[in-house]
């Protein structure tokens, strides 16, 4: 996980609509960049739907929400449509950005150690500086925890 106070690493990824979004596009606004393992799984769906429910409150506070996983653009589109997600989902199948943000690691899955995305949430300010960083977050409570912090 990256440290609070550090500049967020530059990224440029495709969203669920095939449009490119970069860090530079987000400068000037605060945003949540949350990394999750996989579309359509129970924990990831719980987290995404939590952000969906609180999305109007995040927007009132001037904060965008952006999810990132290794899933494809088409998988993200299906995820967005199935659950009516009002925010951006970025596709990182090469793991380039996932590695830049230090969220790839060994985790225990059904008693086996596997490499995967560690559920991590960053809050990044208008200048691209990380102002909050949480690793191994609980999917269900993460959106509310972030809203309370903001």
Burial 23-62 (b: 16+ CB within 10 A, else e): beebeeebbbbbbbbebeeeebbebbbbbbeebeebeeee
**For residue 35, which of 127, 118, 110, 107 has the smallest C-alpha distance?**
118
Which positions ≥6 away from 77 have C-beta within 8 Å? 16, 17
Contact 86, 63 (CB under 8 A): no
59: Cβ contacts below 8 Å, ≥ 6 apart: none
Question: Known catalytic residue: 49?
Answer: no
Q: Cα(135)–Cα(101) distance, rounded to whole angstroms?
A: 11
Catalytic residue among 8, 13, 32, 44, which? 44
- List active site positions: 44
């Amino acid at each position: 996980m990256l440290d609070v106070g550090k500049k967020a690493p530059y990224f440029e990824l495709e969203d669920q609509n095939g449009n490119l979004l970069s860090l530079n596009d987000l400068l000037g606004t605060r945003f949540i960049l949350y990394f999750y393992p996989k579309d359509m799984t129970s924990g990831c769906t719980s987290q995404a739907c939590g952000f969906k429910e609180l999305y109007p409150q995040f927007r009132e506070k001037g904060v965008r929400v952006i999810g990132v996983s290794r899933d494809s653009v088409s998988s993200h589109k299906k995820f967005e449509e199935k659950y009516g997600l009002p925010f951006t989902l970025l596709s990182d199948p090469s793991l380039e950005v996932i590695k830049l943000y230090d969220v790839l690691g060994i985790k225990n899955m059904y008693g086996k150690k596997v490499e995967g995305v560690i559920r991590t949430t960053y809050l990044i300010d208008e200048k691209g500086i990380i102002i909050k960083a949480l690793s191994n977050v609980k999917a269900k409570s993460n959106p509310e925890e972030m809203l309370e912090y903001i």
